[in-house]
């Protein structure tokens, strides 16, 4: 199972990062500073310019990422 799923939002400068496992949710809590309004259901809304550093950190910590 993939830890994180990236959901692109075509035509915008945002995407959604979905923590799909307990480990992924714990990683978000430890490494990401965000506001409650950035969450749309189980997905964290992220500007695409911040996505690469997030994914780099996720992978560096041994978690997996996919784009469904």
Pairwise CA distance, residues 51 & 53, whole Å? 6
Q: What total number of domains does the chain contain?
A: 1
Q: Could you give the C-alpha distances from 32 to 20, 28, 47, 48, 64, in angstroms and in order? A: 16, 5, 13, 15, 16
Domain that holds residue 48: 4-66
Tens digits of residue pLDDT in 34-63: 999 999 999 999 999 999 999 999 999 999
Supply the mean pLDDT for the chain. Answer: 95
pLDDT at 68: 78
pTM value is: 0.90
With a CB cutoff of 8 Å and minimum separation 6, the contacts of 4 are 17, 18, 19, 20, 24, 55, 58, 63, 64, 65, 66
């Amino acid at each position: 199972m993939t830890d994180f799923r990236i959901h692109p939002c075509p035509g915008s400068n945002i995407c959604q990062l979905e923590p799909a496992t307990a480990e992924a949710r714990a990683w978000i809590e430890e490494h990401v500073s965000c506001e409650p309004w950035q969450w749309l259901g189980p997905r964290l809304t992220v500007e695409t310019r911040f996505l690469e550093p997030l994914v780099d950190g996720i992978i560096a910590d041994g978690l997996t990422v996919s784009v469904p």
